[in-house]
Amino acid sequence: MSNKTVIKRQGLMRLIFTLSHSFNGLKWMSRFEAAFQQELALFSVLGVFVWLQEIALSNKLLLIASLLFVLFAELVNTAVEVVVDRIGSEYHELSGLAKDIASASVFIAMLIAALIWWAVLWA
């Protein structure tokens, strides 16, 4: 253990540093992760579409939230992939399983979003 003193940020400074780390993650995903780029493009198009619809604000927010959930799942999926790849490049069954499960979370998020869109706009 090192003698290095860890200073914990509190209050507004903690929030600022947290937001900067979040922004860095979003910026990296937007630049280097093709699936996130595609989902972000879809979010942009569908987001504009939602605001142009004459539906209740609560339904608009529900539709937007379902799209944000897909982006969230993609962030988690990529985080799992990055950590697994950081651990080692050799094949391991559990590494593959972790990536498959994380990928399945994105698929489930997309299904949820599709069901919500169907229920709000067409059911």
Active site residues: 74
Sign, Cα dihedral of 88, 1, 17, 106: positive
Rounded to an integer, what distance in angstroms lies between the CA atom of residue 63 and that of residue 50?
A: 7
For the beta carbon of residue 18, count every other beta carbon within 10 angstroms: 11
Cα–Cα distance measured from residue 23 to residue 21, given in angstroms and rounded to the nearest whole number: 5
Would you say 43 and 67 are in contact if contact means Cβ atoms under 8 Å apart? yes
Return d(Cα 96, Cα 74) in angstroms, integer. Answer: 17
